[in-house]
A and B are shown apart, each in its own frame.
Chain A
Amino acid sequence: MIQAVMVMSTQGKPRLLKFYSFQPPEKHQDLVRGVFQLLSARPDSVSNFVQADAIFGPGVKLVYKHLATLYFVFVFDSSENELAMLDLVQVFVETLDKCFKNVCELDVVFNFNKLHTILDEMILGGQVIETSSEQIMRSVEEIARLEKQSNTTSLIPKSISERFSR
């Protein structure tokens, strides 16, 4: 089971936190800090796996990927395959790239709700449900389309009426 997905900057700032097994909110920052210390201490060109039992409990591992200014971290237990998780990170990043057209950190910062949407399409309750980035994109676009529809319909009358009421 996947326990958490984290995206954080190379400065240690969280950009996205999603926990699939409950962690009390006051602990989140400690977890982020712990993971960041772990990752920042690792040199380049070593493996992408880290045993994180000191932070998350026994048997928990994490896979991370360092891309430009961000760390993408997936935390999971022994029932997942490390290499597959690494590819899941890849799927996630590929999807982001398709979604934002050459994604950069700013996109991630400002659209973290969209990131959550994408993750919800990939992972549900800690289990992987979709791994094809095209499929994920299709769902996300569909959601965006429908959202926009209902958004504009609800928006125009309201804003106009507001203008006119002045």
Chain B
Amino acid sequence: MSELVALFHGFAIALQPHNLALMVIGIVLGVVIGVLPGLGGANGVAILLPLTFTLEPVSAIILLSCIYWGALFGGAITSILFNIPGEPWSVATTFDGYPLAQKGRAAEALTAAFTSSFIGAFVAILVITFVSPLVAGFALRFGPAEFFAVMFLAFASFVGLSSGSPFKTLASMMLGFLLAGVGLDTVTGQLRGTFGSTELMRGFNFLVVVIGLFGISEILQSIEEGLSFRGREGRIDLRAVLKTWAEMLRHKAIVLRSAAIGCWMGITPAGATPASFMSYGVAKRLSPHGREFGRGRIEGVIAPETAAHAAGTSALLPMLALGIPGSPTAAVLLGGLIMWGLQPGPMLFVEQKDFVWGLIASMYLGNVVGFLIVLVAVPWFAAILRIPFPIIAAVILVVCAIGAYTVNNAAFDIVLMLIFGVLGYVMKKLDYPLAPLVLALVLGDRTEQSFRQALLMSEGSFAIFFANPLVASIMLLGFVMLFWPLLSRLWQRTPAPTAA
């Protein structure tokens, strides 16, 4: 009950006219930032952080978190329309979102993405509101072994999903792991795979690689196939929206499961990226239409988007309650809190009630406002597809170059982006799956690190991965997911041998 009282007090703060205005500004700005890859999320918030210095802390965090919501919504737009994911957790959205857009169903894909994000975030906010004291402590139980187990689970639910040649899949994934390992090794402090080059010291940033592999290669493929983007039908009208909502109702199990995966991954705090991949993988495994995933199933948009936003939102809980950021953006917000003179951590909920509940209330409102704004604004975004190809291709190239540059403030990354563009074009044409490469690139580094940290702690003993019920059950779940195709065949056979 005390939560409800505090929450209503929070609403009173968030509903003050100037805060409401900041909310709308933040969402609009966020959508713009989200559409420009490289500026999205962490970078966008970091850039604007000092500008909020003159505001009240509550107003400042409302503005920044609304930019964050806006950027989350905006990221889905480019993923679906142009196959360019602006954030790591939008990658899984492209798998089915872009094929849908190509089939002329961009409107449905966008509606599904926005609605799923909205629901995912909403569930996460409910979790934050009502069970925060309970779950905040949960993150404390996560040491390196538990992190490795979660990463293992993410990989296990995803591998074996692509239908192409197993050797091409293997090569693609190993390339991703290698790219992830370039740069400074956290565990030993040594430079790896840089071959004395300063440019390679910063490693291969996910965004640079993905903008190239997905975005640039798409432009090359489009021009090869006749100078246009396929699927110009990006119009959203009420009928498409209602139709999508009706379809989503049929997939409510996927929505709820994905939201649960997302909340769990956000609180642990493994983050939104493994959550989106894991959720996509699980949805594909459990769906009777699993084989059609990747060719434009609406569930393939719903699952990752719901999980990513549930995770992205619930990641704010460990940040506020423990001072550990669950995402890069949360890390920047954390810096903001300290700048405004607030100390994140267990005492924040006690000492800064106004701030915390104002923020939570603004999450409710910001999410609703953001959802409405993007739904209304989508016809304009869809109109982008009607701009003649030569102009839009040039503009996409420019935006991609700016995005690649701003990630590390390095012009060399623009060169890398082009190289990966050509590589992506060639790989796609030769049926090398790109998803395993990206998955390994995004999660590889953290997986290796937590594996080695865990072994450092146990002084080389593998028993640490089964040392307590928590880590053991996650590992077990990972093995189940890994051998799922085998298990499901066995399971089908045993009760009814005649059916096989």
A and B co-occur in one complex: no
**Which residues of chain B have a CB within 8 Å of any CB of chain A?**
none
